[in-house]
Structure 1
Amino acid sequence: MIKTIIFDLGAVLIDWNPHYLYKTIFADEAERNAFLNTVCTPDWNEEQDGGRSLQEATDLLLTQFPEHETAIRAYYGRWTEMLGGPIQGTVDIFSALKATGQYKFYALTNWSAETFPIALAQFDFLSWFDGILVSGAEKDRKPFASFYNTLLDRFDIDRSTALFIDDNYRNILAAEAIGIQSIHFISPDDLRSRLADFGVMLEKRL
């Protein structure tokens, strides 16, 4: 029986996408994609998730790509414009699960320690968690097993009765490799169906 549910945040509960910002900087889609694939790349961003400071990250790119100074500085200078709001369907599921009183809830997120306080202030549902582990604060991140194990150890979670939800299949495989049952998040409707497969009910059991 599942007793603990572990959520990823970005693209599961929170709609975050750099394109929301960079559509206002690069009108041409090809130019925008080229910038995000070669300058402010996902791999570069993950280093901030792993604990690198925003200043160090920005300075690194300014040295490598001085011609893109304005766009590079916008990544963190206008970071809030990448937040699209809550993914309401998933928030509704979370709310229903919380109301049953039958589960513990934790968040395991790859997120910069410097930008996470912005999300905390903006999204009330983050206060529903029994604990949150932020990669940037821990200087560790998914998909490394050590990050998952830190969550399990810190909050005394039994991996055999835990369920992990993440949109990144790489992170799902990593969780399953250390014995945590997992759901690859695709959409709120799919999640609702998959939860039922694991015996997780959105209404309190009688």
Structure 2
Amino acid sequence: MTSAPTASRRALIFDIGGVVIDRNPCHLFDELIHDSARRRQFLTEVCPPEWNAELDRGRRFAPAVADRAATFPEWSALLADIEPHIARWVDVYIPLDGEEHPPTRISS
């Protein structure tokens, strides 16, 4: 008779459909831009998803922000102070079950 393996298994979940985690940049920017209409404008016009995609493809952050500040001078103060907040990118993720979960590190 053989016994079942006792090693624990770990799983990596890709939550493409937003079933487990709600990914929303508003979670991070709620504290920076309290007015929801201005926050929506910022995230759709000033720093839209296409701009974030450029950064994901490797565009340097400082020149990208400088370009946005030149294009949207009324937002230049916030843009000048945005880097420390962007470093908190994990704050855009909130578990849909409402529970607090400790950060998880992926390792081999």
Q: What TM-score, normalized to structure 1?
A: 0.36
The whole-number CA distance in structure 2 between the counterparts of 1:83 and 1:31 is 22
CA deviation map 1:164-206 (0-9, x unaligned): xxxxxxxxxxxxxxxxxxxxxxxxxxxxxxxxxxxxxxxxxxx
Residue ranges of structure 1 left out of the alignment (5+ in a row): 90-121, 129-206
* Cα-Cα RMSD: 3.1
In terms of Rg, which structure is larger? 2
Which has the larger share of helix?
1
Q: Aligned to 2:32, what secondary structure does the other structure show? A: coil
The answer to whether the aligner puts 1:19 opposite 2:20 as a matched pair is no
Which one scores higher on RCO, CA 8 angstroms, separation ≥ 6?
Answer: 2
Paired residue for 1:127? 107
Structure 2 unmatched runs, 5+: 1-11, 98-102
Secondary structure of the residue aligned to 1:25 is: coil
Alignment partner, residue 38 of structure 1? 45
1:113 corresponds in structure 2 to none
1:134-186 residue CA offsets vs partner (Å, 9 max, x unmatched): xxxxxxxxxxxxxxxxxxxxxxxxxxxxxxxxxxxxxxxxxxxxxxxxxxxxx
For 1:26, what is the secondary structure of its paired residue? coil
Identity %: 31
Output the CA distance in 2 between the equivalents of 1:42 and 1:34: 12
Structure 2 matches for 1:105-116, cutoff 5 A? none
- Give aligned pairs, total: 90
Instruction: Give, in whole Å, the separation in 2 of the partners of 1:55 and 1:17.
Output: 23
Going from structure 1 to structure 2, the CA distance change for 1:31 and 1:88 (only over 3 Å counts) comes to closer
CA distance in 1, matches of 2:25, 2:94: 15
Q: Which residue of 2 aligns with 1:70?
A: 77
Q: Is the CA contact 2:28–2:89 (under 8 Å) kept in the aligned structure 1?
A: yes
Does the CA-based 8 Å contact 1:19-1:82 persist in structure 2? no
* TM score, norm. by length of structure 2: 0.62
Helix, strand or coil for the counterpart of 2:33?
coil
